Amino acid sequence: MHLGNGAITTECALVTLIAAGTGVGMATWNLRRKGLTTEQKKLAIGLSGMIFAAQAVNVSVGDMSSAHLVGGAILAMLLGSSAGIVAMSIILAIQALLVGDGGLASLGANIVNMALIPALLVELSERYFAAKSPSHVEQMIRGGLVAAATVVVVAVLIPAEVALGRSTAELEGLTAFTQQMLTSHLIVAVAEGTITAMVLALVAIPQRSSERVPSSSAVATSSSSLLLTLAVAVAFVVASPWGSGLPDGYEHAAEANGMARILEESPEQLAASGMLATLAASVQAKVLGVLQPLARSEQFWLAMTTIAAMVWMGAATLLAASKQSQPQAESAARS
């Protein structure tokens, strides 16, 4: 679902950049106002590493296309909508700048699709069911349905983003493209919902405050939960070389319906998409030209992200433990 530099016009890029900037800005402000405990930060790092690695592994969907986990709903459900938006936005920015997955000009659209839309649907779901006390199984089912819904919504939104600012002549095949996007992503939606429910079953769902940011007393951030998310991330890193090489559902739908040009980043296609696409592609190519030789492979960066998360988690755990031991030591000294 990552849109490239040639996929959208300058008009769409500006609209989505404004929307993404507003959403991420509000989420960041909300996080700074509410704050996150050490335990919440540890969980955010672990989950972000897991989603980052998971998105690198494509699984075949039939004989013609593939798909990967989006994970935006998982982050919003387990971290809260604000932290989920920030975490996914960081993931998408790193993917664009370090591995070239998703265009820099389309970063705003990708953030809208994979960070803001999932967080919005999760928030609406939470507000609707706020007065109820669902069981853990009911939360898993609801979470899976919300995650599936995000895939369907984004599958419909992407053709609209592609169409914005383009002439009728440029949009030949758009109707068939939209239909195939919807039908092909119904299967992906089922998989996304199932995986989300499984993750919610493995990592306890936090009982969140009115803002939906988990309180320190309610979040299941035990060492076992953190190690579980990192173990899953490691598993995805190891499995990534064996992932499907087929185009994803979006790419296959474009190729099959005469819209393969939106996947191209040739000078002609970038020029047709607008000055912003050309400039962004140039900047992105220069950044990748410097960083990718250092990385050697996408698996290298996935491994480094996971290791960094483990180191950060260990340091945060020691910090939390030292803070907890201080009151106990003072109490023992007074007695």
Q: Is position 149 within any domain?
A: yes
Q: By three-state DSSP, how is residue 315 classified? A: helix
Q: Is position 28 within any domain?
A: yes
Q: Is position 242 within any domain?
A: yes
Q: What is the pTM of this model?
A: 0.82
Question: How many domains are contained in the chain?
Answer: 1
Q: Would residue 165 be called left, alpha or beta, if left means φ above 0 and alpha means ψ between -120 and 50 degrees?
A: left
With a CB cutoff of 8 Å and minimum separation 6, the contacts of 56 are 68, 99, 101, 236, 237, 240, 243, 298, 299, 302
- Which segment of 6-20, 114-128, 289-303, 317-331 scores lowest on mean pLDDT? 317-331
- The sign of the CA dihedral 287, 292, 295, 297 is positive
Q: Is position 273 within any domain?
A: yes
> Residue 248 forms beta bridges with which residues?
66
Q: Is position 2 within any domain?
A: no
Cβ atoms of 101 and 57 closer than 8 Å? no
Cβ atoms of 88 and 71 closer than 8 Å? yes
Cβ atoms of 185 and 160 closer than 8 Å? no
Q: What's the per-residue H, E or C state across 233-295? A: HHHHHHHHHHCCCCCEHHHHHHHHCCCHHHHCCCHHHHHHHCHHHHHHHHHHHHHHHHHHHHH
pLDDT for the residue 267: 81
What average pLDDT score do residues 105-133 get? 91
Between 298-334 and 223-239, two packed helices, what is the crossing angle to 10 degrees?
170
* pLDDT greater than 90 at residue 43: no
pLDDT tens for each residue of 139-198? 889 999 999 999 999 999 999 999 998 888 888 889 999 999 999 999 999 999 999 998
Q: How many angstroms separate the Cα of 41 from the Cα of each of 16, 47, 166, 293?
A: 28, 10, 42, 31
* pLDDT greater than 70 at residue 217: no
Q: Is position 55 within any domain?
A: yes
Q: By three-state DSSP, how is residue 119 classified? A: helix
Q: How many angstroms separate the Cα of 35 from the Cα of each of 32, 83, 88?
A: 5, 10, 18
Q: Closest Cα to residue 250, out of 34, 106, 88?
A: 106
Query: Residue 210 has what DSSP assignment?
Result: T
pLDDT bucket at 272, cuts 50 / 70 / 90:
confident
Length of the chain: 335
Here the tokens at position 21 are 């900037």
202 vs 308: which has the higher pLDDT: 202
CATH number at 215 reads 1.10.1760.20
Burial class of residue 220, CB neighbours in 10 A (0-12, 13-18, 19+): middle
pLDDT tens for each residue of 240-258? 666 677 888 888 999 988 8
- Rounded Cα gap, residues 85 and 106, in angstroms: 17
Q: Closest Cα to residue 55, out of 67, 46, 65, 47?
A: 67
- Rounded Cα gap, residues 317 and 305, in angstroms: 18
- The whole domain housing 102 covers 10-334
Q: Is position 4 within any domain?
A: no
Q: Is position 1 within any domain?
A: no
